[in-house]
Structure 1
Amino acid sequence: MKKTEFILQDLVSKIYQGAFPTNKLPTERSLASYYQVSRYTVQNALKELNAMGVIQAKHGSGIYVTPDALNNPLVFNALTRMPYSEIQNQMIYLKQRPLTANELQNFDIHNDDSQPQLAWEFLRRRLSHYEVTELERTVMPVRLFPHLDQAAVEGSIQQFVQSTGHRISHYITTYQTRLLTREEAQHLATKRQPAMIISNRCIWENSQVYALSENVAINYAVTYITPFNQQSLAYRMSR
Structure 2
Amino acid sequence: MNKIKLSSISTDAPKDISKEETKEITKQLLKELDELQNLLYAEHKHSLLVIVQGMDASGKDGLIRKVIGSMNPYGVTIQSYKAPTAEEMDHDFLWRIHRCAPAKGAVQVFNRSHYEDILIQRVHKWIDDKTAQKRMKAINHFEWLLTEHNNTTILKFYLHVSQEEQAARLKERTEDPKKMWKYNAKDLTEAKLWKEYMEMYEDAFENCNDIPWIIVPADRNWYKEYVVAKTLVETLRSLDMEYPVLNK
> Please, what TM-score do these two structures have when normalized by structure 2?
0.21
Higher relative contact order (CA 8 A, sep 6+): 2
Larger Rg: 1
Higher strand share: 1
Higher helix share: 2
